[in-house]
Chains A and B, each alone.
Chain A
Amino acid sequence: MAKSKPRVKVPKKAAKGDLITIKTLISHKMESGQRKDKEGNPIPRSIINKFTCDFNGQVVFACDIEPAISANPFFEFSVRVEESGTFKFTWVDDDGSVYEKTADIAVQ
């Protein structure tokens, strides 16, 4: 399939102890495995099945994804930041591909 393109929205800076909101989106058709093609053959499932957000090497949020998640899966969640560091976002595809993106935040 076409290469999946991840996008994330993370504030560049925050005050210590702030609750920040993170939004993520990745382009992916999320084929559910329930649909049939013109000949009536089932179209095999092909989705992103796992999303993880690490902060400085520690998992802060994760999601197990099933076929009922819409195409171009979107997630919004919060993180309380106590120190500067790097967020790492990881998406795992059914086909074994792993898509990654990082974002830095400065905490005062």
Chain B
Amino acid sequence: MSHHVTRRTAMALGGAALVAGVAGITPAHASEIDERISEFTGGAEAQSGRISIDAPEIAENGNTVPIGITVDSPMTDDDFVEAVIVLAAGNPRPGVATFHFSPASGEAAAKTRMRLAKTQDIVAVARMSDGSFYRENRTVKVTIGGCGG
């Protein structure tokens, strides 16, 4: 068998490299998101509900997408939301921010502005003072270029 690089093998190699290259820069793999979530929950199961994610259905400019997180909680000294982690599944890195609340917050609500590389799911996980976890997802469509749409 010849060790010369034929046109065909060169094409195959190029193709494989292209695939690898694309995989290298694209979105956070599902596994990285899961890693971040289990790091946050310590492996505990997150229930659904109690969180509402306020974000536009369609974001025209992915550079600054408003997002609001509200968690239903009485926010008393013995029953409050400790922290909420916000992750973006389709960004090169999934992390967005982690909010830390206290009973003095009065309500577990915060707003910020984030970057989204493309249309994707936003995931929020909340840690309650009793050690339970809640999780919510929300899809945001991103119009690249921000020329309206």
**Chain A contacts to B: CB under 8 angstroms:** 19, 32, 34, 55, 58-71, 73-80
Contact of B105 with A by CB under 8 A: yes
Instruction: Give chain B residues whose Cβ lies under 8 Å from the Cβ of A79.
Output: 104-106
Contact of B99 with A by CB under 8 A: yes
B102→A63 contact, CB < 8 A = no
Given contacts A68-B96, A70-B114, A75-B112, contact A61 B88 (CB under 8 A): no
A8 to B: closest C-beta gap in Å: 14
Instruction: Give chain A residues whose Cβ lies under 8 Å from the Cβ of B109.
Output: 77-78
Instruction: Give chain B residues whose Cβ lies under 8 Å from the Cβ of A64.
Output: 97-98, 100
Contact of B95 with A by CB under 8 A: yes
C-alpha spacing A60/B104, complex, angstroms: 6
CB-CB nearest in chain A for B91: A68
- Would you list 29 pairs from A and B whose C-beta atoms are within 8 A, ordered by A residue? A32-B115, A34-B92, A58-B102, A58-B104, A59-B102, A60-B104, A63-B99, A63-B100, A64-B98, A66-B93, A66-B96, A67-B93, A68-B93, A68-B96, A69-B96, A69-B97, A69-B112, A70-B64, A70-B65, A70-B112, A70-B115, A74-B113, A76-B111, A77-B109, A77-B110, A78-B105, A78-B106, A78-B107, A80-B104
Sample of 9 further A-B pairs with CB below 8 A, known A63-B99, A71-B64, A80-B105: A19-B106, A60-B104, A61-B100, A63-B98, A68-B114, A70-B112, A70-B115, A75-B110, A78-B109
